[in-house]
């Protein structure tokens, strides 16, 4: 059985809010690994599409940056992100009928996201934000049927949160934020390797910053593994990892691809998961501070606007004795 997993992050650049690392995991019984990674957009084309415009009502699965809408539009800015993530969550192997009564606590819990214990992240947001629950349930059921017909299973979506205080600590330890992100990606890979050690595992990851070769990093992470370089090009690097004593048919292939969200549906869905998870946390943060400071414009957390926001809430920070190192990233 092939396990096909994608990993991607959201919130790498902002000053406020968490860095989030999303992961989506699919399985296929009948895929020949020698033919390369499967095209899940084609396999599931009755239920999913690329981009936001589709007359057939299919689920948009694409780079999260392409799916978030503008404020003031006809639909909620998170409509497509939310619709895709929640429909896939509802179609996972262990999902019960959980779309009837839903809030962000349910979603974050199902994603395995551990919410930081800071005052600005406490609270709860009713979901969905941009879709009728009944229509969402129909889209999820349609997706589940399409996956069954294609011999595809969505095993799980997950997300790790690295908030400002943990981020700052890790930057101090590693020396730069690129290493913080890359180590988080490798943690996800190790979890996958442990869980699916007896299967053929193919992990696809978006290119990591300026890195164009990864063999040395992978060998450092798994010193006892035999690592075969399959391709090593600035746009595409592929490696095969094998642990001593592993049986035939088991092993791990890791691909780093520039523009990976356009090449692999699991990366695109991981990107959407990470972005949606981060947006839920930013809603909580904005709710906390706008409640304390009426008239405050919300922020997405990116540097220029975050500076405006921090200036506007400076009185709240001082009044409530908020530790800035827990709220603001160092870089």
Tell me whether strands 59-60 and 48-49 are parallel, antiparallel or unpaired.
Answer: parallel
Which structural domains are found in the chain, ordered by start? 2-282 (3.30.420.10), 284-327 (no CATH)
Tell me the per-residue pLDDT of 252-307, one tens digit each, with 9 for 90 and over: 999 999 999 999 999 999 999 999 999 999 999 999 999 999 999 999 999 999 99
pLDDT over 60 at 206, yes or no = yes
Q: Measured between alpha carbons, how far is 272 from 61 in angstroms, rounded to an integer?
A: 8
In tens, the pLDDT along 212-254 reads 899 999 999 999 999 999 999 989 999 999 886 655 557 899 9
Residue 173 in 3-state DSSP?
helix
Which residues face 159 on adjacent strands?
22
pTM, two decimals, is 0.95
Average pLDDT (30-51) is 86
Percent of the chain with pLDDT over 90: 79
Q: Can you give the pLDDT at residue 94?
A: 66
Overall average pLDDT of the 78-104 stretch: 83
DSSP state at residue 123:
S
Cβ-Cβ contacts under 8 Å for 267 (sequence gap 6 or more): 6, 7, 8, 204, 205, 206, 257, 260, 261
Average confidence (pLDDT) over 191-208: 94
Contacts of 313-320 spanning 24+ positions with Cβ under 8 A? 313/289, 316/289, 316/292, 320/119, 320/292
Per-chain mean pLDDT for the chain:
92
Confidence of residue 30 (pLDDT cuts 50, 70, 90): confident
d(CA 234, CA 245): 32
């Amino acid at each position: 059985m092939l396990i096909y997993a994608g990993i991607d992050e959201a919130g790498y650049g902002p000053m406020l809010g968490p860095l989030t690392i999303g992961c989506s995991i699919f399985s296929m019984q009948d895929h020949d690994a020698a033919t390369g990674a499967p095209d899940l957009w084609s396999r599931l084309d009755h239920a999913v599409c690329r981009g936001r415009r589709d007359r057939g009502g299919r689920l948009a699965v694409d780079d999260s940056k392409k799916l978030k809408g503008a404020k003031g539009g006809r639909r909620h800015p998170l409509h497509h992100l939310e619709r895709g993530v929640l429909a896939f969550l509802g179609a996972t192997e262990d999902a019960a009928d959980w779309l009837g009564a839903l809030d962000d606590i349910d979603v974050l819990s199902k994603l395995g996201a551990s919410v930081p214990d800071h005052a600005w992240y406490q609270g709860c947001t009713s979901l969905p934000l941009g879709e009728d629950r009944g229509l969402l349930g129909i889209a999820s059921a349609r997706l589940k049927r399409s996956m069954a017909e294609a011999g595809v299973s969505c095993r799980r979506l997950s997300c790790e949160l690295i908030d400002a205080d943990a981020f700052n600590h890790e930057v101090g330890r590693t020396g730069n934020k690129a290493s913080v992100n890359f180590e988080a990606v490798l943690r996800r890979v190790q979890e996958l390797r442990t869980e699916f050690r007896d299967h053929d595992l193919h992990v696809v990851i978006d290119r990591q910053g300026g890195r164009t070769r990864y063999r040395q990093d992978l060998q450092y992470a798994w010193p006892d593994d035999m690592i075969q370089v399959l391709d090593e090009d600035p746009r595409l690097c592929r490696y095969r990892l094998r642990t001593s004593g592993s049986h035939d048919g088991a092993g791990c292939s890791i691909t780093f691809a520039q523009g990976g969200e356009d090449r692999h549906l699991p990366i695109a869905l991981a990107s959407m998961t990470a972005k949606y998870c981060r947006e839920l946390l930013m809603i909580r943060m904005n709710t906390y501070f706008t409640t304390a400071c009426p008239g405050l414009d919300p922020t997405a957390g990116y540097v220029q606007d975050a500076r405006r926001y921090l200036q506007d809430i400076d009185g709240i920070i001082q009044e409530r004795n908020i530790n800035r190192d827990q709220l603001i990233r160092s870089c």
